[in-house]
Amino acid sequence: MNPELHIDLASIRAAQARIRAIAHRTRVMTSRSFNAEAGLAAFFKCENFQRGGSFKIRGASNFIFSLSREELEHGIVTYSSGNHAQAVAIAAEAAGARATIVMPHDAPRSKVEATRAHGATIVTYDRYRESREAIGRKIAEETGAVLVPPYDHPWTIAGQGTTALELVEDIPDLDALLAPVGGGGLLAGCSIAAKSLHPSIRLFGAEPELANDTYLSFEAGRRIEIPVPTTIADGLRATQPGEITFPILQEHIEGILLVSEEEIKEAVKFFFSRLKIVVEPSGAVAAAAVLFRRLPPGVERAGIILSGGNVDLELLATF
C-alpha cells in the first residue's frame, strides 16, 4: 500500500499540522446538569464551534491540502448532505481551487447557503431517486476535477482523527470516547488516534435507530446496506459503512449504541436550554446515547464528540 494511504498516529499528527491554518482547535465543555442526568462525567468536544460548523473541515482540508498544485488546477468536486459540502467549499477557497458540490434538494437551507457563500457551485439531486456518487463521478470525468470523498479515504479519515487527538490530549484520563456514525470516517479516525494514545480507552459509535446500517453491519460481521434513512439526523443518512472505515471500526469499536428520534431531539433541546449551545441533530446522537444511558456499565469519564451545529432554527422549533 502507498505509505500515504496508511492511517496511523503519525499520519493523524501530520494531518493536524497540515490543517492547523484552517481548522480550529475546538474547546471541551462540561455540564454539571448533563452529568447529573447521565450519571457520569461527560467531556464534550465542541465541533459545533468548528470552521464551517462541523468536524468535516478537518478531513476535507487534509484531503485538499494533500493534493498537488496541478490537481488543484482542475478543480475539485464532492457530494454531501451539507456539512462536508461547506467544509470542502471553505478548504477549496483556501487552496484557491474551484469547487463543485452535489447536494440533495432537501438539504437544510442554512447548509446550502453557507456552502454557496464560499464560492462553490451547487448542483442539486433527488436523494431518493438519484445517485450522488454517480453525479459526482460524472462531473469529475467531464472536468478532470478531483473527487473529495466524504469519508471513505485515508486522508479524510486521518483528518477527522485529529478531533480525538485533541480531545485525548486535553482530557487524558477518559475511559471512553463516543462519536456519531454516518459513513464512519469520524469514528474510524478517532478510534485510531484514541487507541494509539490511550490503548485501554473504550470506543463506541452512536447511530439513530432509523439509520442503523453500521449497527446491523456489526451484527452481521460484514457491510450491510439499508434503504435511504429518514432520520432527522440528516448528516447520518449514509446507507452503509465505508469499505475502508468499516474494518477500522471492527478492529477498535466495542459497540454501536442506538437512539430514537425523540431522544435525539431531547438531547438537542438539552444543549440549547442548559448548555446554551446549538448542536444539530446528527451532532447530538452520541450525547443522546449517553444521556439516555445506553453505555454499558463501568464508564465514568466519557469523551463525547458534538460533531456539528448547523441546524435551522425553524426545524429546532418543531422538536
Q: Which of residues 37-56 bind a copy of itself (CB under 8 A)?
A: 48-49, 53
Closest approach of Cβ 316 to a copy of itself, in Å? 6
> What are the cell numbers at 172?
487524558
> What are the cell numbers at 72?
488543484
Paired with 99 in beta bridges are: 76
Pairing mode, strands 99-104 and 202-208: unpaired
Q: Is 314 in the site for a copy of itself (CB under 8 A)?
A: yes
Residue 158 near residue 12, CB atoms below 8 Å: yes
Handedness of CA 120, 121, 122, 123 (dihedral sign): negative
Closest approach of Cβ 77 to a copy of itself, in Å? 26
Q: Which of residues 275-304 bind a copy of itself (CB under 8 A)?
A: 275-279
Q: Half-sphere exposure of residue 181, counting CA atoms within 13 Å on the CB side?
A: 39
Task: Give yes or no: 56 in active site.
Answer: yes
Pairing mode, strands 176-180 and 301-306: parallel
Closest approach of Cβ 247 to a copy of itself, in Å? 34
Paired with 259 in beta bridges are: 208
> What are the cell numbers at 214?
453500521
Q: Is 19 in the site for a copy of itself (CB under 8 A)?
A: no
Q: Is 266 in the site for a copy of itself (CB under 8 A)?
A: no
Q: Is 21 in the site for a copy of itself (CB under 8 A)?
A: no
Please select the residue that binds a copy of itself; options are 62, 78, 100, 110, rule is CB under 8 A: 110
Q: Is 273 in the site for a copy of itself (CB under 8 A)?
A: yes
Cα separation of 268 and 272, whole Å? 6
Please select the residue that binds a copy of itself; options are 116, 130, 197, 272, rule is CB under 8 A: 272
Among 68-76, 121-129, 237-245, 311-319, which window interacts with a copy of itself (CB under 8 A)?
311-319
Q: Is 196 in the site for a copy of itself (CB under 8 A)?
A: no
Task: Give yes or no: 307 in active site.
Answer: yes
Residue 75 near residue 99, CB atoms below 8 Å: yes
Size of interface with a copy of itself, in residues (CB under 8 A): 19
Q: Is 171 in the site for a copy of itself (CB under 8 A)?
A: no
Among 7-15, 170-178, 248-256, 266-274, which window interacts with a copy of itself (CB under 8 A)?
266-274
Closest approach of Cβ 309 to a copy of itself, in Å? 4
Closest approach of Cβ 89 to a copy of itself, in Å? 15
Residue 79 near residue 282, CB atoms below 8 Å: no
Q: Is 27 in the site for a copy of itself (CB under 8 A)?
A: yes
Query: Which H helix or E strand runs over 39?
Result: none
Catalytic residue among 66, 196, 282, 307: 307
Q: Is 170 in the site for a copy of itself (CB under 8 A)?
A: no
Q: Is 98 in the site for a copy of itself (CB under 8 A)?
A: no
User: 25 in helix, strand or coil?
Assistant: coil
Cα separation of 50 and 318, whole Å? 25
Cα separation of 296 and 233, whole Å? 24
> What CA–CA distances, in Å, run from 314 to 108, 259, 264, 317, 318?
10, 23, 16, 5, 7
Beta carbon nearer to a copy of itself, 84 or 153 = 84
Catalytic residue among 11, 45, 56, 80: 56
User: 79 in helix, strand or coil?
Assistant: strand
Catalytic residues: 56, 307
- What residues line the site for a copy of itself (CB under 8 A)? 27, 48-49, 53, 110, 269, 272-273, 275-279, 309, 313-314, 316-317, 319
